[in-house]
Structure 1
Amino acid sequence: MKLKFKSLQSIGAERESVIQKQIQKIRKEISLWDFSSKNKEAREILLRTNVSSFSFCRVRVEKDSVVAIDSRLKFVSLTVNNLEKLYHSQPAKTTFQKQTFLIKKAIVYLDTLLAISKRIFEISELEIRKKTKGKDLQWELDLLIDEVDRIASLAEFRYLHLFGGDYAKSSRTASMWFINEKNGSLFRVYIATMTSKALGLRSLDGNYLTLSNSTLLQKKIEETILKIKEERKQLQSVLD
Protein backbone atom coordinates (compact mmCIF):
# COMPACT_ATOMS: atom_id res chain seq x y z
CA MET A 1 0.00 0.00 0.00
CA LYS A 2 1.33 3.42 -0.91
CA LEU A 3 1.62 5.66 2.12
CA LYS A 4 0.32 9.20 1.88
CA PHE A 5 3.20 11.67 1.79
CA LYS A 6 3.26 14.16 4.64
CA SER A 7 5.38 17.29 4.57
CA LEU A 8 7.48 18.37 7.52
CA GLN A 9 4.99 21.19 8.08
CA SER A 10 2.11 18.71 8.29
CA ILE A 11 4.04 16.48 10.68
CA GLY A 12 4.94 19.51 12.79
CA ALA A 13 1.31 20.61 13.02
CA GLU A 14 0.21 17.11 14.00
CA ARG A 15 2.90 16.91 16.68
CA GLU A 16 1.80 20.20 18.25
CA SER A 17 -1.82 19.02 18.14
CA VAL A 18 -0.89 15.83 20.01
CA ILE A 19 1.03 17.82 22.63
CA GLN A 20 -1.93 20.16 23.06
CA LYS A 21 -4.27 17.25 23.72
CA GLN A 22 -1.73 15.84 26.17
CA ILE A 23 -1.63 19.15 28.06
CA GLN A 24 -5.42 19.35 28.24
CA LYS A 25 -5.57 15.82 29.61
CA ILE A 26 -2.90 16.50 32.24
CA ARG A 27 -4.55 19.74 33.39
CA LYS A 28 -7.84 17.93 33.79
CA GLU A 29 -6.22 15.06 35.70
CA ILE A 30 -4.44 17.43 38.08
CA SER A 31 -7.66 19.30 38.82
CA LEU A 32 -9.27 16.02 39.87
CA TRP A 33 -6.44 14.71 42.06
CA ASP A 34 -7.34 14.19 45.68
CA PHE A 35 -5.00 16.10 47.97
CA SER A 36 -7.05 15.63 51.10
CA SER A 37 -5.45 15.34 54.53
CA LYS A 38 -5.42 11.56 54.13
CA ASN A 39 -3.70 11.67 50.77
CA LYS A 40 -0.85 14.19 50.77
CA GLU A 41 1.65 12.24 48.70
CA ALA A 42 3.26 14.21 45.89
CA ARG A 43 2.85 12.95 42.34
CA GLU A 44 4.84 13.38 39.16
CA ILE A 45 3.69 14.28 35.69
CA LEU A 46 5.64 13.73 32.50
CA LEU A 47 4.90 15.92 29.53
CA ARG A 48 6.59 15.02 26.27
CA THR A 49 7.16 18.20 24.30
CA ASN A 50 9.18 17.00 21.31
CA VAL A 51 10.09 13.90 19.32
CA SER A 52 13.43 13.64 21.10
CA SER A 53 13.65 10.86 23.67
CA PHE A 54 15.05 13.38 26.16
CA SER A 55 12.34 16.01 25.72
CA PHE A 56 10.28 15.24 28.81
CA CYS A 57 9.10 18.00 31.08
CA ARG A 58 9.07 16.36 34.52
CA VAL A 59 7.14 18.19 37.25
CA ARG A 60 6.55 17.17 40.86
CA VAL A 61 2.99 18.00 41.91
CA GLU A 62 2.13 18.69 45.53
CA LYS A 63 -1.03 20.07 47.06
CA ASP A 64 0.26 23.65 47.25
CA SER A 65 1.78 23.61 43.77
CA VAL A 66 -1.28 22.74 41.67
CA VAL A 67 -2.12 26.35 40.76
CA ALA A 68 1.51 27.13 39.93
CA ILE A 69 1.86 24.05 37.71
CA ASP A 70 -1.38 24.83 35.91
CA SER A 71 -0.04 28.33 35.26
CA ARG A 72 3.06 26.88 33.62
CA LEU A 73 1.01 24.45 31.54
CA LYS A 74 -1.05 27.36 30.22
CA PHE A 75 2.09 28.87 28.74
CA VAL A 76 3.23 25.54 27.30
CA SER A 77 -0.22 25.33 25.73
CA LEU A 78 0.08 28.87 24.37
CA THR A 79 3.34 28.02 22.60
CA VAL A 80 2.01 24.77 21.19
CA ASN A 81 -1.19 26.38 19.92
CA ASN A 82 0.67 29.16 18.10
CA LEU A 83 3.22 26.74 16.64
CA GLU A 84 0.42 24.57 15.28
CA LYS A 85 -1.12 27.62 13.59
CA LEU A 86 2.27 28.55 12.14
CA TYR A 87 2.86 25.07 10.70
CA HIS A 88 -0.55 25.25 9.01
CA SER A 89 -0.15 28.77 7.63
CA GLN A 90 3.52 29.14 6.68
CA PRO A 91 5.11 26.84 4.04
CA ALA A 92 8.81 26.07 4.33
CA LYS A 93 9.90 24.59 1.00
CA THR A 94 11.96 27.28 -0.71
CA THR A 95 14.94 29.06 0.83
CA PHE A 96 12.94 32.25 1.30
CA GLN A 97 10.03 30.39 2.87
CA LYS A 98 12.41 28.67 5.29
CA GLN A 99 13.91 32.01 6.27
CA THR A 100 10.45 33.42 6.94
CA PHE A 101 9.40 30.35 8.88
CA LEU A 102 12.50 30.50 11.09
CA ILE A 103 11.84 34.14 12.02
CA LYS A 104 8.12 33.56 12.60
CA LYS A 105 8.88 30.54 14.76
CA ALA A 106 11.30 32.59 16.87
CA ILE A 107 8.59 35.24 17.24
CA VAL A 108 6.13 32.62 18.49
CA TYR A 109 8.54 31.71 21.27
CA LEU A 110 9.24 35.38 22.02
CA ASP A 111 5.52 36.03 22.38
CA THR A 112 5.31 33.28 25.00
CA LEU A 113 8.37 34.63 26.82
CA LEU A 114 6.73 38.06 26.83
CA ALA A 115 3.49 36.62 28.22
CA ILE A 116 5.43 34.77 30.94
CA SER A 117 7.31 37.93 31.88
CA LYS A 118 4.07 39.89 32.16
CA ARG A 119 2.66 37.18 34.43
CA ILE A 120 5.77 37.39 36.62
CA PHE A 121 5.21 41.14 36.87
CA GLU A 122 1.63 40.41 38.00
CA ILE A 123 3.00 37.99 40.60
CA SER A 124 5.23 40.72 42.01
CA GLU A 125 2.21 43.03 42.30
CA LEU A 126 0.21 40.32 44.07
CA GLU A 127 3.07 39.90 46.52
CA ILE A 128 3.18 43.64 47.20
CA ARG A 129 -0.57 43.68 47.88
CA LYS A 130 -0.36 40.37 49.78
CA LYS A 131 -3.31 39.03 47.80
CA THR A 132 -1.93 35.48 47.64
CA LYS A 133 0.30 33.36 49.85
CA GLY A 134 3.95 34.21 49.26
CA LYS A 135 4.91 30.53 49.11
CA ASP A 136 2.37 29.85 46.35
CA LEU A 137 3.57 32.86 44.34
CA GLN A 138 7.23 31.89 44.71
CA TRP A 139 6.39 28.38 43.54
CA GLU A 140 4.73 29.80 40.43
CA LEU A 141 7.63 32.19 39.86
CA ASP A 142 10.15 29.32 40.00
CA LEU A 143 8.14 27.19 37.56
CA LEU A 144 7.74 30.04 35.10
CA ILE A 145 11.48 30.69 35.16
CA ASP A 146 11.97 26.97 34.46
CA GLU A 147 9.61 27.34 31.51
CA VAL A 148 11.72 30.20 30.13
CA ASP A 149 14.75 27.89 30.14
CA ARG A 150 12.75 25.04 28.61
CA ILE A 151 11.80 27.33 25.73
CA ALA A 152 15.40 28.53 25.35
CA SER A 153 16.65 24.94 25.16
CA LEU A 154 13.98 23.63 22.75
CA ALA A 155 13.43 26.60 20.43
CA GLU A 156 15.04 25.43 17.21
CA PHE A 157 14.67 25.27 13.46
CA ARG A 158 16.13 22.22 11.75
CA TYR A 159 18.66 21.69 14.53
CA LEU A 160 19.56 25.39 14.77
CA HIS A 161 19.11 26.36 18.42
CA LEU A 162 17.69 29.85 18.30
CA PHE A 163 17.94 31.25 21.82
CA GLY A 164 21.02 29.59 23.29
CA GLY A 165 23.41 32.35 22.25
CA ASP A 166 24.81 30.76 19.08
CA TYR A 167 23.44 33.62 16.97
CA ALA A 168 23.79 36.50 19.41
CA LYS A 169 25.92 39.49 18.44
CA SER A 170 28.35 38.60 21.22
CA SER A 171 28.96 35.14 19.75
CA ARG A 172 32.17 34.67 17.80
CA THR A 173 30.57 31.91 15.75
CA ALA A 174 27.36 33.75 14.80
CA SER A 175 26.83 33.02 11.11
CA MET A 176 23.13 33.07 10.29
CA TRP A 177 23.09 34.55 6.81
CA PHE A 178 19.86 35.34 4.98
CA ILE A 179 19.30 36.12 1.31
CA ASN A 180 17.43 39.26 0.34
CA GLU A 181 14.55 38.04 -1.80
CA LYS A 182 14.49 41.24 -3.89
CA ASN A 183 18.13 41.63 -4.90
CA GLY A 184 19.86 38.42 -3.81
CA SER A 185 22.28 40.15 -1.45
CA LEU A 186 23.36 38.48 1.79
CA PHE A 187 22.69 39.91 5.21
CA ARG A 188 23.30 38.60 8.69
CA VAL A 189 20.55 38.01 11.24
CA TYR A 190 21.29 37.98 14.95
CA ILE A 191 19.10 36.40 17.63
CA ALA A 192 19.70 37.40 21.23
CA THR A 193 20.24 34.86 24.01
CA MET A 194 16.93 34.24 25.79
CA THR A 195 17.85 32.04 28.75
CA SER A 196 16.64 32.98 32.23
CA LYS A 197 20.14 34.20 33.15
CA ALA A 198 20.39 36.36 30.03
CA LEU A 199 16.97 37.83 30.79
CA GLY A 200 17.88 38.54 34.41
CA LEU A 201 15.48 35.99 35.88
CA ARG A 202 18.28 34.03 37.55
CA SER A 203 21.43 35.19 39.25
CA LEU A 204 24.80 34.33 37.72
CA ASP A 205 25.13 31.43 40.18
CA GLY A 206 21.81 30.00 38.98
CA ASN A 207 19.49 31.01 41.82
CA TYR A 208 15.91 32.05 41.06
CA LEU A 209 14.73 35.60 41.55
CA THR A 210 12.74 35.78 44.77
CA LEU A 211 9.80 37.78 46.05
CA SER A 212 11.75 38.96 49.09
CA ASN A 213 12.16 42.35 47.37
CA SER A 214 9.15 42.76 45.09
CA THR A 215 10.10 46.29 44.05
CA LEU A 216 13.51 45.12 42.81
CA LEU A 217 11.84 42.16 41.10
CA GLN A 218 9.48 44.50 39.26
CA LYS A 219 12.39 46.59 38.04
CA LYS A 220 14.18 43.50 36.71
CA ILE A 221 11.01 42.23 35.02
CA GLU A 222 10.44 45.59 33.36
CA GLU A 223 13.95 45.30 31.90
CA THR A 224 13.19 41.72 30.81
CA ILE A 225 9.97 42.77 29.08
CA LEU A 226 11.76 45.61 27.29
CA LYS A 227 14.52 43.27 26.09
CA ILE A 228 12.03 40.75 24.70
CA LYS A 229 10.01 43.48 22.97
CA GLU A 230 13.15 44.92 21.38
CA GLU A 231 14.21 41.48 20.12
CA ARG A 232 10.75 40.84 18.72
CA LYS A 233 10.80 44.21 16.95
CA GLN A 234 14.25 43.45 15.53
CA LEU A 235 13.15 40.08 14.13
CA GLN A 236 9.89 41.49 12.79
CA SER A 237 11.94 44.06 10.86
CA VAL A 238 13.58 41.17 8.97
CA LEU A 239 10.15 40.17 7.68
CA ASP A 240 9.14 43.74 6.89
Structure 2
Amino acid sequence: MKLNKNPNLSTDSEKEVIIQKQINQLQKEISDWASKESNQPEEKKRILLRTNTETNSIYHTIVEKTEAKAVESKLKFISLTSQKLKRLSELEPNETTFQKQTFMLKKVLVYLDILYHISKRLFVISKSNLFGKQVELQSEVDSLIHEVDRIASQAEFNDMRLFAGDFAKDSRVASLWMIHQSKGELSRVWIATMTSKSLGLTTVEGNYLTLSNANLFQKNIEEAINRINEERQRIQSVLD
Protein backbone atom coordinates (compact mmCIF):
# COMPACT_ATOMS: atom_id res chain seq x y z
CA MET A 1 0.00 0.00 0.00
CA LYS A 2 1.71 3.14 -1.22
CA LEU A 3 1.51 6.33 0.82
CA ASN A 4 0.88 9.51 -1.13
CA LYS A 5 3.31 12.28 -0.33
CA ASN A 6 1.64 15.24 1.33
CA PRO A 7 3.87 17.91 2.92
CA ASN A 8 1.06 18.94 5.25
CA LEU A 9 0.71 15.51 6.81
CA SER A 10 3.12 13.35 8.79
CA THR A 11 3.62 9.76 7.70
CA ASP A 12 1.52 8.63 10.67
CA SER A 13 -1.28 10.97 9.60
CA GLU A 14 -1.14 9.63 6.06
CA LYS A 15 -1.50 6.09 7.40
CA GLU A 16 -4.61 7.03 9.34
CA VAL A 17 -6.10 8.80 6.29
CA ILE A 18 -5.71 5.57 4.31
CA ILE A 19 -7.35 3.56 7.09
CA GLN A 20 -10.21 6.06 7.36
CA LYS A 21 -10.95 5.81 3.64
CA GLN A 22 -11.07 2.01 3.87
CA ILE A 23 -13.38 2.11 6.88
CA ASN A 24 -15.77 4.59 5.26
CA GLN A 25 -16.01 2.44 2.16
CA LEU A 26 -16.46 -0.76 4.17
CA GLN A 27 -19.14 0.77 6.40
CA LYS A 28 -21.16 1.73 3.32
CA GLU A 29 -20.73 -1.73 1.80
CA ILE A 30 -21.92 -3.44 4.99
CA SER A 31 -24.88 -1.09 5.38
CA ASP A 32 -25.99 -1.65 1.78
CA TRP A 33 -25.48 -5.40 2.07
CA ALA A 34 -27.36 -5.73 5.37
CA SER A 35 -30.34 -3.70 4.14
CA LYS A 36 -30.61 -5.50 0.81
CA GLU A 37 -33.27 -8.20 0.63
CA SER A 38 -31.98 -11.58 -0.41
CA ASN A 39 -33.46 -14.96 -1.19
CA GLN A 40 -30.49 -16.49 0.58
CA PRO A 41 -30.89 -15.89 4.35
CA GLU A 42 -27.55 -17.58 5.01
CA GLU A 43 -25.72 -15.19 2.70
CA LYS A 44 -22.30 -14.21 4.08
CA LYS A 45 -19.89 -11.38 3.43
CA ARG A 46 -16.12 -11.33 3.56
CA ILE A 47 -14.69 -8.42 5.57
CA LEU A 48 -11.12 -7.39 4.83
CA LEU A 49 -9.65 -4.28 6.41
CA ARG A 50 -6.07 -3.15 6.86
CA THR A 51 -6.02 -1.62 10.35
CA ASN A 52 -2.40 -0.57 10.03
CA THR A 53 0.06 -0.26 7.17
CA GLU A 54 2.08 -3.18 8.54
CA THR A 55 1.68 -6.32 6.45
CA ASN A 56 0.30 -8.42 9.34
CA SER A 57 -2.27 -5.84 10.45
CA ILE A 58 -5.33 -7.07 8.59
CA TYR A 59 -8.76 -7.65 10.09
CA HIS A 60 -10.33 -10.52 8.18
CA THR A 61 -13.61 -12.25 8.95
CA ILE A 62 -16.65 -13.82 7.31
CA VAL A 63 -19.98 -12.54 8.67
CA GLU A 64 -23.65 -13.36 8.30
CA LYS A 65 -26.30 -10.67 8.06
CA THR A 66 -27.25 -11.23 11.69
CA GLU A 67 -23.70 -10.15 12.62
CA ALA A 68 -23.70 -6.96 10.55
CA LYS A 69 -24.44 -4.68 13.52
CA ALA A 70 -21.63 -6.28 15.52
CA VAL A 71 -19.15 -5.59 12.72
CA GLU A 72 -20.45 -2.02 12.36
CA SER A 73 -19.91 -1.51 16.10
CA LYS A 74 -16.34 -2.76 15.84
CA LEU A 75 -15.66 -0.57 12.80
CA LYS A 76 -16.94 2.46 14.68
CA PHE A 77 -14.24 2.00 17.31
CA ILE A 78 -11.53 1.26 14.74
CA SER A 79 -12.55 4.48 13.01
CA LEU A 80 -12.54 6.45 16.27
CA THR A 81 -9.05 5.15 17.08
CA SER A 82 -7.79 6.17 13.65
CA GLN A 83 -9.31 9.66 13.95
CA LYS A 84 -7.73 10.26 17.35
CA LEU A 85 -4.31 8.98 16.25
CA LYS A 86 -4.45 11.16 13.14
CA ARG A 87 -5.25 14.22 15.23
CA LEU A 88 -2.46 13.39 17.69
CA SER A 89 0.08 13.03 14.87
CA GLU A 90 -0.95 16.37 13.39
CA LEU A 91 -0.90 18.35 16.65
CA GLU A 92 1.85 16.78 18.74
CA PRO A 93 5.55 17.26 17.79
CA ASN A 94 7.60 14.08 17.78
CA GLU A 95 11.25 14.96 17.17
CA THR A 96 13.24 15.58 20.37
CA THR A 97 13.60 13.07 23.20
CA PHE A 98 11.16 15.00 25.39
CA GLN A 99 8.67 15.31 22.55
CA LYS A 100 8.90 11.60 21.77
CA GLN A 101 8.23 10.50 25.34
CA THR A 102 5.29 12.92 25.62
CA PHE A 103 3.94 11.72 22.28
CA MET A 104 4.18 8.10 23.40
CA LEU A 105 2.25 8.72 26.62
CA LYS A 106 -0.41 10.69 24.77
CA LYS A 107 -0.70 7.80 22.34
CA VAL A 108 -1.22 5.49 25.32
CA LEU A 109 -4.01 7.81 26.47
CA VAL A 110 -5.66 7.64 23.05
CA TYR A 111 -5.81 3.85 23.22
CA LEU A 112 -7.00 3.90 26.85
CA ASP A 113 -9.75 6.30 25.85
CA ILE A 114 -10.92 3.87 23.16
CA LEU A 115 -10.82 0.94 25.60
CA TYR A 116 -12.90 3.01 28.01
CA HIS A 117 -15.55 3.72 25.37
CA ILE A 118 -15.63 0.06 24.33
CA SER A 119 -16.14 -0.98 27.95
CA LYS A 120 -18.91 1.59 28.36
CA ARG A 121 -20.64 0.16 25.28
CA LEU A 122 -20.33 -3.33 26.76
CA PHE A 123 -21.89 -2.05 29.98
CA VAL A 124 -24.82 -0.55 28.02
CA ILE A 125 -25.31 -3.91 26.30
CA SER A 126 -25.37 -5.65 29.69
CA LYS A 127 -28.28 -3.39 30.71
CA SER A 128 -30.22 -3.96 27.48
CA ASN A 129 -33.48 -5.84 27.21
CA LEU A 130 -32.20 -9.18 25.98
CA PHE A 131 -35.56 -10.60 24.94
CA GLY A 132 -35.23 -11.75 21.35
CA LYS A 133 -31.86 -10.02 20.89
CA GLN A 134 -29.41 -12.08 22.92
CA VAL A 135 -27.74 -13.72 19.92
CA GLU A 136 -27.28 -10.39 18.15
CA LEU A 137 -26.00 -8.63 21.28
CA GLN A 138 -23.66 -11.50 22.17
CA SER A 139 -22.23 -11.22 18.67
CA GLU A 140 -21.48 -7.55 19.35
CA VAL A 141 -19.93 -8.42 22.71
CA ASP A 142 -17.64 -10.96 21.04
CA SER A 143 -16.70 -8.44 18.35
CA LEU A 144 -15.85 -5.71 20.87
CA ILE A 145 -13.82 -8.00 23.13
CA HIS A 146 -11.92 -9.07 20.02
CA GLU A 147 -11.31 -5.37 19.34
CA VAL A 148 -9.82 -4.96 22.83
CA ASP A 149 -7.27 -7.66 22.02
CA ARG A 150 -6.61 -6.19 18.58
CA ILE A 151 -5.76 -2.88 20.24
CA ALA A 152 -3.55 -4.63 22.80
CA SER A 153 -1.66 -6.42 20.04
CA GLN A 154 -1.24 -3.41 17.72
CA ALA A 155 -0.86 -0.45 20.09
CA GLU A 156 2.80 0.43 19.70
CA PHE A 157 5.37 3.19 19.64
CA ASN A 158 8.62 2.77 17.69
CA ASP A 159 7.89 -0.97 17.44
CA MET A 160 7.40 -1.23 21.22
CA ARG A 161 4.14 -2.92 22.16
CA LEU A 162 2.45 -0.76 24.77
CA PHE A 163 -0.32 -2.93 26.24
CA ALA A 164 1.06 -6.46 25.97
CA GLY A 165 2.61 -6.36 29.44
CA ASP A 166 6.19 -5.56 28.46
CA PHE A 167 6.15 -2.38 30.56
CA ALA A 168 3.85 -3.58 33.34
CA LYS A 169 5.02 -3.19 36.93
CA ASP A 170 5.80 -6.90 37.31
CA SER A 171 7.38 -7.26 33.86
CA ARG A 172 10.77 -8.92 33.49
CA VAL A 173 10.83 -8.28 29.75
CA ALA A 174 11.56 -4.56 29.59
CA SER A 175 11.49 -1.32 31.55
CA LEU A 176 10.56 2.21 30.53
CA TRP A 177 12.43 5.24 31.86
CA MET A 178 11.72 8.90 31.23
CA ILE A 179 13.46 12.18 31.94
CA HIS A 180 11.45 14.95 33.56
CA GLN A 181 11.88 17.92 31.24
CA SER A 182 12.11 20.67 33.89
CA LYS A 183 13.68 18.74 36.79
CA GLY A 184 16.01 16.54 34.77
CA GLU A 185 15.10 13.58 36.97
CA LEU A 186 15.01 10.04 35.61
CA SER A 187 11.98 8.00 36.65
CA ARG A 188 10.46 4.69 35.70
CA VAL A 189 7.05 4.59 34.01
CA TRP A 190 4.77 1.57 34.02
CA ILE A 191 2.11 0.79 31.44
CA ALA A 192 -0.41 -1.79 32.59
CA THR A 193 -1.36 -4.82 30.51
CA MET A 194 -4.62 -4.10 28.68
CA THR A 195 -5.64 -7.40 27.10
CA SER A 196 -9.15 -8.79 27.42
CA LYS A 197 -7.82 -11.39 29.85
CA SER A 198 -6.14 -8.83 32.12
CA LEU A 199 -9.32 -6.72 32.08
CA GLY A 200 -11.49 -9.67 33.04
CA LEU A 201 -13.35 -9.79 29.72
CA THR A 202 -12.09 -13.30 29.03
CA THR A 203 -12.41 -16.30 31.34
CA VAL A 204 -9.48 -18.33 32.63
CA GLU A 205 -10.29 -20.88 29.93
CA GLY A 206 -9.93 -18.19 27.26
CA ASN A 207 -13.63 -17.75 26.50
CA TYR A 208 -15.29 -14.36 26.09
CA LEU A 209 -17.77 -13.22 28.74
CA THR A 210 -21.36 -14.11 27.91
CA LEU A 211 -24.63 -12.33 28.55
CA SER A 212 -26.10 -15.56 29.92
CA ASN A 213 -24.59 -14.65 33.30
CA ALA A 214 -25.70 -11.02 33.54
CA ASN A 215 -24.47 -10.38 37.08
CA LEU A 216 -20.94 -11.64 36.43
CA PHE A 217 -20.88 -9.82 33.09
CA GLN A 218 -21.82 -6.47 34.63
CA LYS A 219 -19.43 -6.95 37.56
CA ASN A 220 -16.47 -7.67 35.28
CA ILE A 221 -17.30 -4.79 32.94
CA GLU A 222 -17.53 -2.34 35.85
CA GLU A 223 -14.15 -3.55 37.14
CA ALA A 224 -12.65 -3.15 33.65
CA ILE A 225 -13.99 0.42 33.41
CA ASN A 226 -12.53 1.28 36.82
CA ARG A 227 -9.16 -0.22 35.94
CA ILE A 228 -8.97 1.65 32.64
CA ASN A 229 -9.92 4.90 34.35
CA GLU A 230 -7.24 4.41 37.00
CA GLU A 231 -4.64 3.80 34.30
CA ARG A 232 -5.74 6.91 32.40
CA GLN A 233 -5.38 9.03 35.53
CA ARG A 234 -1.99 7.53 36.35
CA ILE A 235 -0.58 8.10 32.86
CA GLN A 236 -1.99 11.63 32.81
CA SER A 237 -0.27 12.34 36.14
CA VAL A 238 3.08 11.48 34.52
CA LEU A 239 2.41 14.15 31.89
CA ASP A 240 1.23 16.79 34.38
TM-score interval w.r.t. the shorter chain? over 0.9
Local SS of the residue matching 2:19: helix
Q: What is residue 63 of structure 2 aligned with on the other side?
A: 61
> What CA distance in whole angstroms lies between the structure 2 residues aligned with 1:115 and 1:131?
25
Matched, 1:201 2:201: yes
Query: CA separation of 1:217/1:5 partners in 2, compared to 1, >3 Å: closer, same or farther?
Result: closer
Unaligned 5+ segments in structure 2 are none
Report the Cα offset of residue 6 of structure 1: 5.8
> What residue in structure 2 maps to residue 166 of structure 1?
166
Which is further off, 221-230 or 44-53?
44-53
Aligned to 2:74: 72
Mapped to 2, the partners of 1:85 and 1:216 lie a distance apart of: 37
Q: Given the alignment, which residue of 107, 116, 119 partners 1:117?
A: 119
The sequence identity of aligned pairs, in percent, is 54
Give a deviation string over 1:17-45, Cα, whole Å, max 9, x none. Answer: 11011101000001111352336321111
Q: Please identify, of 96-105 and 54-63, the stretch whose mean Cα deviation from structure 2 is larger.
A: 54-63
CA drift at 1:120: 0.3
Deviations 1:158-204 (A, max 9, x none): 01100000000011233100001112111000000000000000012
Read off the aligned partner of 1:110 and give its amino acid letter: L
Distance (whole Å) between structure 2 residues aligned to residue 5 and residue 78 of structure 1: 22
Match of 1:107 in 2: 109
Q: Secondary structure at the match of 2:10?
A: helix
Residue 23 of structure 1 aligns with which residue? 23
SS of the residue 1:219 aligns to: helix
**CA distance in structure 1 between the partners assigned to 2:6 and 2:77 by the alignment:** 32
Deviations 1:112-138, CA, capped at 9 Å, x for gaps: 000000000011111xx3366100000
Which residues of 2 match residues 82-231 of structure 1 at below 5 A? 82-126=84-128, 129-130=129-130, 133-231=133-231
RMSD: 1.7
Greater Cα offset, 80-89 or 52-61? 52-61
Distance (Å, rounded) in 1 between the aligned partners of 2:64 and 2:6:
44
Unpaired segments of 5 or more residues in structure 1? none
2:213 aligned counterpart, secondary structure: helix
Paired residue type of 1:115: H
The whole-number CA distance in structure 2 between the counterparts of 1:35 and 1:202 is 36
Deviates more, 1:176-185 or 1:223-232: 176-185
Give the secondary-structure state (helix, strand or coil) at the position aligned to 1:44: strand
What is aligned with 2:83? 81
Q: How far 1:227 sits from its partner (Å)?
A: 0.2
Residue 78 of structure 1 and its aligned partner are, at CA, apart by 0.6
Tell me the amino acid that sits aligned with residue 229 of structure 2: K
Deviation at 1:225, TM superposition (A): 0.1
Name which of structure 1's ranges 144-153 and 176-185 shifts more when overlaid on structure 2: 176-185
What CA distance in whole angstroms lies between the structure 2 residues aligned with 1:199 and 1:235? Answer: 17
1:17-56 superposed matches below 5 A: 17-33=17-33, 34=36, 36-38=38-40, 40-56=42-58
For the residue of structure 2 that corresponds to 1:172, the secondary structure is: coil
Contact 1:174 1:190 in 2 (8 A): no
How many angstroms apart in 2 are the aligned matches of 1:170 and 1:132? 44
Give TM-score, length-normalised by structure 1: 0.94
Distance in 2 separating the partners of 1:163 and 1:149: 9
Query: Any idea what SS the aligned residue of 1:61 has?
Result: strand
Following superposition, the deviation at residue 15 of structure 1 comes to: 0.7
